[in-house]
Amino acid sequence: MKLHIKGGRLLLPAGPVATNAAPPAHAECHADVFIADGLIAAIGSAPAGFQADRVLDASGLCVAPGLVDLSARLREPGNEYKATLASELAAALAGGVTSLVCPPDTNPVLDEPGLVDMLKFRTQQLRQAHVYPLGALTVGLEGTTISAMRQLTEAGCIGFSQAEVPIIDTQVLWRALQYASTYGYTVWLRAQDPYLSRGGVAASGAVASRLGLPGIPAAAETIALHTILELVRITGARVHLPHLSSAGGIELVRTAKRDGLPISCDVTINHLHLIDADIAYFDAQYRLDPPLRTQRDRDAIRAGLLDGTIDAICSDHTPLDDDQKMLPFGEAAPGASGLELLLSLTVKWAQEARVPLAQALAYVTRAPAAVLGLRSAGRLESGAPADLCLFDPHAYWTVEPDALRSQGRNTPFNGYELPVRVRATLLGGHVAFEQTWQ
């Protein structure tokens, strides 16, 4: 299959990747893209003898690398009633996401190579987006025995994580980081102190006090970060810090990066846009983990993106069924569906912060690919895999939960009018998702 993408506006989030206080470089141009054998054969003029099987008219559209989402729960194995691989990977493609990382908190937990093999096999059969599983850092996420990281890596795990379950025993955490660093594996650690967050359902502060909701202080994040960063210092382990939520936490990471620690971090689209006051009258769609914090924290997230402290934006896609949200706020399950909103909410932020489109796209393409150490993803250049996203930069759409492809209709952005709409997603040179356009 040879494809010719004609007349598009190419967004090239290329160049050096954000590591220390440098926002991702970017560029854009108008050019045709030629695809053959699953790869980008050429940009600009066709290679000699190129005969397209299909020409995609991309005039008026942006052509970008397929999105790389650092956190998307697919709910398989074990929670198929909440969502299935097929539904969630279809949602990914509809959102322009061609690569995604899934956390190990499935049922059973991804702590055995056989389970990872099975997941890889199932996703490859579906041929809808590349799935990069994170293995459990400890057996059963129980925080006592480290998992078989070498075998899990051979099976296809891209790193190791405790998902949302903290390791309480600091000795185990230290040893896990030592072991992982022996082989150069990346460890993903949610910074949240288990004691300070115990029982909490919203961020501590005036909003939680007024609503009578048990609070989680920002210190739950910063204290955990202090511990993690100190262990990174003594072990040299490479650590990724997902879903930072507080101004204090971002400042700690800023300083640690300046000191040259081998760390990276991300924020979610929810925390990029929402704050605790949005909970309004106990709307359980705003129950998230970590909890939504104050305007000041959101400002710090936005500043952290621009100065290179924060590497990437992720969806933290967590599909839930209605019954898990139709509960009093404190009993509702935390999380929001997000794969189909990642692109639009990133662009919405870019518009509000006056960030050029190609630069904003780097936070969901090039930069997360770098976090994963993937050379192949997040690029739009000759020789790279033809994982691409074509979107209409002038379209607006209204979020209607029932219109989402994900089985998770749980979104705090219900009714929001959002910019940009994906028109086609290419995976390995195939048109894997397509929405008719003029």
Where on the chain is the footprint of another protein (CB under 8 A)?
Answer: 204-215, 217, 280-285, 323, 326-331, 348, 351, 396, 398, 401, 414-419
Residue closer to another protein, measured from CB, 65 or 419: 419
Nearest approach in angstroms of CB 44 to another protein is 35
Nearest approach in angstroms of CB 336 to another protein is 12
Nearest approach in angstroms of CB 252 to another protein is 21
Exposure string of 354-374, with b = 16+ CB inside 10 Å and e = fewer, is: ebebbbbbbbbbbbbbbbbeb
Whether 57 is catalytic is no
- Neighbouring CB atoms inside 10 A of 183's CB total 9
Q: Which of 143, 157, 145 is nearest to 113 (CA)?
A: 157
Q: Which of 159, 279, 285, 262 is nearest to 213 (CA)?
A: 279
CA 144, CA 136: separation in Å to the nearest integer? 12
Residue closer to another protein, measured from CB, 41 or 418: 418
Task: Answer whether 170's CB lies under 8 Å from 189's CB.
Answer: no
Nearest approach in angstroms of CB 397 to another protein is 11
Residue closer to another protein, measured from CB, 91 or 279: 279
DSSP assigned state of 138? B
Phi, psi angles (nearest 5°) of residue 86: -65, -45
Residue closer to another protein, measured from CB, 185 or 286: 286
Task: Answer whether 357's CB lies under 8 Å from 64's CB.
Answer: no
The sign of the dihedral angle between the CA atoms of 362, 54, 436, 30 is positive
CA atoms within 13 A on the CB side of 81: 5
Nearest approach in angstroms of CB 216 to another protein is 11
Instruction: Show the tokens assigned to 299.
Output: 């400002």
CA 134, CA 103: separation in Å to the nearest integer? 5
Q: Which of 199, 205, 185 is nearest to 245 (CA)?
A: 205
Nearest approach in angstroms of CB 326 to another protein is 5
Instruction: Show the tokens assigned to 242.
Output: 């997902």
- Residues ≥6 apart with Cβ < 8 Å to 202: 208, 211, 213, 214, 215, 216, 276, 279, 287, 291, 292, 329
Nearest approach in angstroms of CB 352 to another protein is 8
Residue closer to another protein, measured from CB, 74 or 420: 420
CA 9, CA 33: separation in Å to the nearest integer? 10
Query: Which member of 193, 276, 289, 316 is catalytic?
Result: 316
CA atoms within 13 A on the CB side of 294: 12
CA 13, CA 360: separation in Å to the nearest integer? 8
Residue closer to another protein, measured from CB, 148 or 211: 211
Q: Which of 415, 382, 386 is nearest to 400 (CA)?
A: 415
Nearest approach in angstroms of CB 327 to another protein is 6
Residue closer to another protein, measured from CB, 70 or 313: 313
Residue closer to another protein, measured from CB, 59 or 209: 209
By annotation, the residues acting in catalysis are 316
